[in-house]
Amino acid sequence: MSARRIDGGRLIDRTKPLRFTFNGRKMEGFQGDTLASALLANGQMLVGRSFKYHRPRGIVTAGPEEPNALVNLGKDKRFEPNARATTTELFDGLEARSQNHWPSLERDIGVLNDRFARFLPAGFYYKTFIHPRPFWKHVFEPFIRQSAGLGQAPRHRDGDTYEHVNVTVDVLVSGGGISGLAAALAAGKAGARVLLVEQSAHWGGRLDDAPDIDGQPAETWVAETVAALTNLENVTVKLRTTHSGVYDHGYCLAVERLTDHDPLGPGPRQRLWKVRAGRIVAATGAIERPLSFAGNDLPGVMLAAAVRDYLTGYGVAPGRRTVVVTNNDDGYRTAFALKDQGLEVPLILDARSDPGPVAEAARELGLKVAPGKGLAGVSGKGRVEKAAVAAIDGSGAVLDELACDCIAMAGGWSPAVHLWSHAGGKLHWDETDAMFVPDPDKPPLGADGKAMVRCVGAAAGELGAAEALETGWAAGLWAATETGHKPKRGAGPKAEPDEETPIAPVWVMPRGADPEKRAKMWLDYQNDVKVSDVELAQREGYESVEHTKRYTTLGMATDQGKLSNINGLAVLADARGEPIPAVGTTTFRPPYTPLTMGAIAGEARGDLFQPIRRTPMHEHHERMGAHWEPVGHWRRPYAFPRSGESVEEAVNREIVNTRQNVGLLDASTLGKILVKGPDAARFLDMLYTGMMSSLKPGRCRYGLMCSENGFLIDDGVVARIDEDTFLCHTTTGGADRIHAHMEEWLQTEWWDWQVHTLNITEAWAQIGVVGPKARDLLEALGGMDLSEEALPFMSWADGEIGGFKARIYRISFSGELSYEIAVDAGHGAALWEACLDAGESLGVMPYGTEALHVMRAEKGFIMIGDETDGTVIPQDLGLSWAISKKKDDYLGKRAQDRLFMTDPNRWKLVGLETLDGSVLPEGAYAVDDSKNANGQRETQGRVTSTYYSPSLKRGIAMGLVRHGPDRMGEVLTFPGVDGTETKARIVEPVFLKEAGA
Amino acid sequence: MLILTCPYCGVAADETELAPGGEAHLTRAGVESSDEDFEAYLFQRKNPKGVHFERWRHANGCGKWFHAARCTVTNEVFGTYPAQTLEPPKEILDEIVARRPGWTLETGP
The verdict on residue B82 lying in a domain is yes
CB contact under 8 A, A751 and B99: no
* Contact predicate A238/A230, CB 8 Å: no
Residue A121 makes CB contacts below 8 A (sequence gap 6+) with A532, A533, A536
The beta-carbon neighbor of B33 closest among A251, A751, A894 is A894
Which is it for the CA torsion A637, A640, A645, A650, positive or negative? negative
Are A449 and B76 spatial neighbours (Cβ–Cβ below 8 Å)? yes
Interface residue B101 vs chain A (CB under 8 A): no
Q: Scanning every residue of chain B, which has its alpha carbon at the shortest distance from the alpha carbon of A446? A: B76
Is A247–B55 a contact, with Cβ atoms under 8 angstroms apart? no
Rounded CA-CA distance A359/A370 in Å is 9
Using the Cβ of A747 and the Cβ atoms of chain B, whether some distance falls under 8 Å is answered with yes
Question: Do A894 and B84 lie within an 8 Å CB cutoff?
Answer: no
pLDDT at position A1 is 43
Write out the DSSP string of A281-307.
Answer: EE---EEEPP---TTTTSTTEEEHHHH
The answer, for A709 touching chain B at a CB cutoff of 8 Å, is: yes
The CATH architecture to which A506-578 belongs is Orthogonal Bundle (1.10)
Name the CATH superfamily, with its identifier, for domain A162-286+415-482.
FAD/NAD(P)-binding domain (3.50.50.60)
Closest residue to A888, CB basis, from B31, B64, B76 = B31
Residue of B nearest to A739 (CA): B63
Rg (CA), chain A: 37
Strand partners, A437: A428
On chain A, the residues whose CB falls within 8 A of the CB of B7 are none
**Minimal Cβ distance to B74: which of A247, A445, A709:** A445
Q: Is A167 within 8 Å of chain B by CB? A: no
Q: Which of A596, A169, A633, A447 is nearest to B15 (CA)?
A: A447
Cβ distance B55 to A424 less than 8 Å, yes or no, reads no
Tell me if chain B has a CB within 8 Å of the CB of A445: yes
Q: Is B52 on the interface with A (CB under 8 A)?
A: no
How far is A758 from A926, CA to CA, in rounded Å? 44
Closest CB to B77 among A447, A749, A894: A447
Helix A735-748 × helix A680-687 angle, to 10°: 110
Fold classified for A1-157:
Ubiquitin-like (UB roll) (3.10.20)
Q: Which of A251, A708, A709 sits opposite B1 (nearest CB)?
A: A251
Rounded CA Rg of chain B: 15
- Strand ranges (E), A678-828: 700-706, 712-722, 725-730, 756-759, 764-770, 796-801, 804-809, 818-824
DSSP β-bridge partners for residue A432: none
Interchain CB contact of B83 with A (< 8 Å)? yes
CB contact (8 A) between residue B42 and residue A247? no
What is the chain B residue with the closest CA to A424?
A: B74
pLDDT tens for residues B28-42? 999 999 999 999 999
Contacts of A446 in chain B (CB under 8 A): 76
Topology (CATH level 3) of domain A904-997:
Elongation Factor Tu (Ef-tu); domain 3 (2.40.30)
- Residue segments in chain A with a per-residue pLDDT below the cut of 70: 1-3, 101-103, 108-121, 123-150, 995-997
Please state, in angstroms and rounded to a whole number, the distance separating the CA atoms of residues A335 and A302: 13
> Looking at the complex, does the CB of residue B67 fall below 8 Å from at least one CB of chain A?
no
A positions 291-320 inside 8 Å of B (CB): none
- C-alpha to C-alpha distance for A436 and A431, rounded to whole angstroms: 9
* Distant-in-sequence contacts of A439-447, Cβ < 8 A, 24+ apart: A444/A246, A444/A420, A445/B74, A445/B75, A445/B76, A446/A249, A446/A250, A446/A278, A446/A279, A446/B76, A447/A249, A447/A250, A447/B2, A447/B3, A447/B75, A447/B76, A447/B77
> Which chain A residues touch B15 with a CB distance below 8 Å?
248
Verify cis geometry, omega within 30 degrees of 0, for the bond prior to A103: yes
The reported pLDDT for the residue numbered A988 is 96
Which among A492, A475, A433 has a CA at the least distance from the CA of A281? Answer: A475
CATH topology match: A162-286+415-482 vs A290-411: yes
Interface of A with B in 492-521 (CB under 8 A): none
| Cβ under 8 Å to B: A residues 256-285 | 276
Q: Helices H, strands E: what count in chain A?
A: 25, 47
Q: What is the pLDDT of residues A714-769, one digit of tens each?
A: 999 999 999 999 999 999 999 999 999 999 999 999 999 999 999 999 999 999 99
Residues of B in contact with A448 (CB under 8 A): 76-77
How far from chain centre, in Å, is Cα B18? 13
Name which CATH class applies to A290-411. alpha beta
Domain that holds residue B8: 3-99
Cβ atoms A572, A561 nearer than 8 A: no
- Which residue type, as a one-letter code, is found at position A504? A
Provide the pLDDT for residue A527: 86
Residues of chain A neighbouring B6 (CB-CB closer than 8 A): none
3-class SS shares of chain B: helix, strand, coil, % to 5: 20, 30, 50
In a domain, B107, yes or no: no
Partner A contacted by B75 (CB < 8 A): yes
Which of B3, B29, B55 is nearest residue A894 as measured by Cβ atoms?
B29
Separation between Cα atoms, residue A628 and residue A617, nearest integer Å: 13
CB contact under 8 A, B29 and A743: no
* Omega before A579 within 30 of 0, i.e. cis: no
Q: How far apart are CA A219 and CA A240, in angstroms?
A: 19
A828-838 and A774-781 are packed helices; what angle lies between their axes, rounded to 10 degrees? 110
A756 vs B: CB within 8 A: no
Beta strand extents in A853-917 (DSSP E only): 907-914
CA distance B106 to chain A (A): 22
CA angle A65/A318/A53 to nearest 5° reads 55
Number of domains in chain B: 1
Q: Is residue B64 part of a domain?
A: yes
B23 at A interface, C-beta within 8 A: no
Q: How far apart are CA A12 and CA A29, in angstroms?
A: 9
Q: Is the Cβ pair B76, A894 closer than 8 Å?
A: no
CB-hemisphere CA count at 13 Å for A17? 8
A33-69 core/surface letters (b: 16 or more CB in 10 A; e: else) = bbbbbbbbbbebbbbbbbbbbbbbbbbbbbbbbbbbb
Q: Do A747 and B29 touch (CB under 8 A)?
A: no
User: Per-residue pLDDT averaged across B3-12, rounded?
Assistant: 96
Q: Do A445 and B57 touch (CB under 8 A)?
A: no
Domain ranges of chain A: 1-157, 162-286+415-482, 290-411, 506-578, 610-894, 904-997
SS3 A138: helix
Contacts 24+ apart (CB under 8 A), B96-100: B96/B51, B96/B69, B99/A449, B100/B50, B100/B51, B100/B71
Kindly state the helix (H) or strand (E) to which residue A858 belongs, with its residue range. Answer: helix A849-858
Q: Does A153 touch chain B (CB under 8 A)?
A: no
Which chain B residue has its CA at the smallest distance from A888's CA? B31
Enumerate residues 6+ apart whose C-beta is below 8 A from A27. A19, A20, A21, A38, A39, A42, A44
Å between B43 CA and nearest CA of chain A: 10
Residue B108 lies in a domain: no
CATH label of the domain that carries residue B79: 3.30.2270.10
**Chain B nearest-CA residue for A252:** B1
Residue B30 domain flag: yes
Residue type, A834: A
pLDDT in tens, A61-70: 999 999 999 9
- Let me know if residue B109 belongs to a domain: no
User: CB distance A424–B74 less than 8 Å?
Assistant: yes
Please state the pTM of the whole predicted model: 0.91
Q: Which of A248, A708, A751 sits opposite B75 (nearest CB)?
A: A248
Q: What is the CATH number of domain A610-894?
A: 3.30.1360.120
Q: Is B36 on the interface with A (CB under 8 A)?
A: no
| Cβ within 8 Å of residue A15, ≥6 positions away | none
Q: What percent of chain A has pLDDT over 90?
A: 88
Q: Does B18 touch chain A (CB under 8 A)?
A: no
Residue A591: cis peptide before it, omega within 30 degrees of 0: yes
User: Quick one: which of A35, A34, A33, A57 has its CA closest to A47?
Assistant: A57
- How far is the C-alpha of A349 from the C-alpha of A362, rounded, in Å? 12
Report CA-CA distances (Å) from A45 to A61, A477, A869: 12, 45, 59
d(Cα A474, Cα A185) in Å, to the nearest integer? 11
Cα–Cα distances in angstroms (integers) from residue A545 to residues A292, A534, A551, A590, A707, in the given order: 19, 10, 10, 19, 45
